[in-house]
């Protein structure tokens, strides 16, 4: 079969099949590269600050489309409802989140929302809760699952769970919390002292996948393999035909050969 494959016309056929399969592979790569599409080049909608009362409703779970939204709201902090959330990393250092309940103006039933006022490495560095009419701008995040602290300490929790805080403070609340990026009281920025702001970036949006492009890409790969297979199949058929032709010629030579003379002349017996 190798002798058949090395014939000039089959070598040319192989080159053509390889060129064709290369084109198919390139088309497949192009389809794969277009499978991931960006729906929009505009900034994420979550970065546009929206009123909390419009962005999220208390008393219901948070959907993925509502998370990470930058929100603003007014109301007042409740100094009697503050906790420290343990085991919080900030720039590689372990510390605490200072969290205080914030009663939101315009909430349907006067619900509060936990506000992360800042991060501290030492609980003694937590500043006093702002007093008066306050305004907060921050990122809205879903409630964490409650955790059982190994050594419970008064005024500290292991997770920022609104369900746990509702039981702890005996008041209705949003099923979410806010990491404050800006706190003002009576129009003036609040001095956070040694507390560092907790910066939470928006989670990356999932890139939609165009499955039709994926299907076309796989099709081109199949076509690339089929072009080489087709060349091999044609060579194999040609080789098989050549074997049959050789066998047929051998049979013809056998038919044309003279038949051997098996009769022997009779000999006379002389006496």
User: How many whole angstroms separate alpha carbon 131 and alpha carbon 113?
Assistant: 16
- At 41 the three-state DSSP class reads coil
Do residues 217 and 32 touch, judged by C-beta distance below 8 A?
yes
User: How many whole angstroms separate alpha carbon 145 and alpha carbon 163?
Assistant: 8
User: How many whole angstroms separate alpha carbon 120 and alpha carbon 243?
Assistant: 87
3-state DSSP of 132-195: CCEEEEEEEEECCCCCCCCCCCCCEECCCCHHHHHHHHCCCECCEEEEEEEEEECCEECCCCCC
Alpha-helix runs per DSSP H in the chain: 2-5, 8-33, 52-55, 162-169, 211-256
Given this model, what pLDDT does residue 223 score?
Answer: 85
Backbone angles phi, psi at 269, to 5 degrees: -95, 120
User: How many whole angstroms separate alpha carbon 164 and alpha carbon 145?
Assistant: 9
Beta bridge mates, 70: 139
Give kind and range of the element (H or E) at residue 50: strand 50-51
Give the CA radius of gyration of the chain.
41
What DSSP state is assigned to residue 55?
A: H
Place of tokens 């080789």: 239
Given this model, what pLDDT does residue 261 score?
Answer: 56
Given this model, what pLDDT does residue 134 score?
Answer: 96
Given this model, what pLDDT does residue 170 score?
Answer: 92
User: How many whole angstroms separate alpha carbon 176 and alpha carbon 69?
Assistant: 11
Q: Is the pTM of this model over 0.85?
A: no
- At 77 the three-state DSSP class reads strand
Do residues 87 and 94 touch, judged by C-beta distance below 8 A?
yes
Do residues 168 and 90 touch, judged by C-beta distance below 8 A?
no
- The pLDDT tens digits along the chain (271 residues) read 777 767 787 788 888 888 888 888 888 888 777 766 554 444 457 889 999 999 999 988 888 888 899 999 999 999 999 999 999 999 999 999 999 999 999 999 999 999 999 999 999 999 999 999 999 999 999 999 988 765 568 889 999 999 999 999 999 999 999 999 999 998 899 988 889 999 888 766 555 667 777 877 888 888 888 888 888 888 888 878 877 766 766 555 555 555 555 555 544 444 4
Backbone angles phi, psi at 25, to 5 degrees: -65, -40
């Amino acid at each position: 079969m190798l002798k058949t494959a090395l014939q000039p016309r089959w070598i040319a056929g192989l080159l053509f099949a390889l060129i064709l399969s290369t084109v198919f592979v390139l088309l497949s790569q192009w389809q794969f590269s277009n499978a991931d599409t960006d729906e929009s080049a505009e900034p994420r909608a979550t970065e546009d600050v929206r009123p909390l009362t419009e962005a999220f409703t208390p008393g219901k779970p948070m959907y993925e489309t509502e998370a990470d939204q930058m929100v603003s709201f007014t109301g007042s902090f409740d100094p009697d409802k503050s906790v420290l959330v343990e085991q919080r990393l900030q720039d590689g250092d372990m510390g605490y989140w200072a969290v205080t309940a914030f009663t939101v103006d315009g909430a349907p039933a006067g619900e509060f929302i936990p506000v992360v006022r800042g991060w501290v490495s030492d609980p003694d560095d937590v500043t006093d809760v702002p007093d008066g009419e306050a305004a907060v701008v921050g990122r809205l995040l879903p409630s964490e699952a409650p955790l059982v602290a190994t050594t419970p300490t008064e005024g500290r929790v292991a997770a920022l769970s609104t369900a746990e805080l509702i039981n702890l403070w005996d008041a209705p609340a949003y099923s979410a919390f806010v990491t404050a990026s800006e706190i003002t009281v009576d129009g003036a920025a609040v001095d956070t002292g040694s507390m560092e702001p907790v910066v939470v970036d928006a989670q990356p949006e999932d890139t939609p996948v165009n499955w039709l492009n994926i299907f076309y890409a796989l099709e081109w790969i199949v076509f690339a393999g089929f072009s080489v297979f087709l060349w091999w199949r044609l060579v194999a058929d040609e080789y098989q035909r050549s074997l049959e032709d050789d066998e047929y010629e051998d049979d013809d030579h056998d038919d044309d050969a003279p038949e051997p003379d098996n009769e022997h002349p009779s000999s006379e017996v002389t006496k």
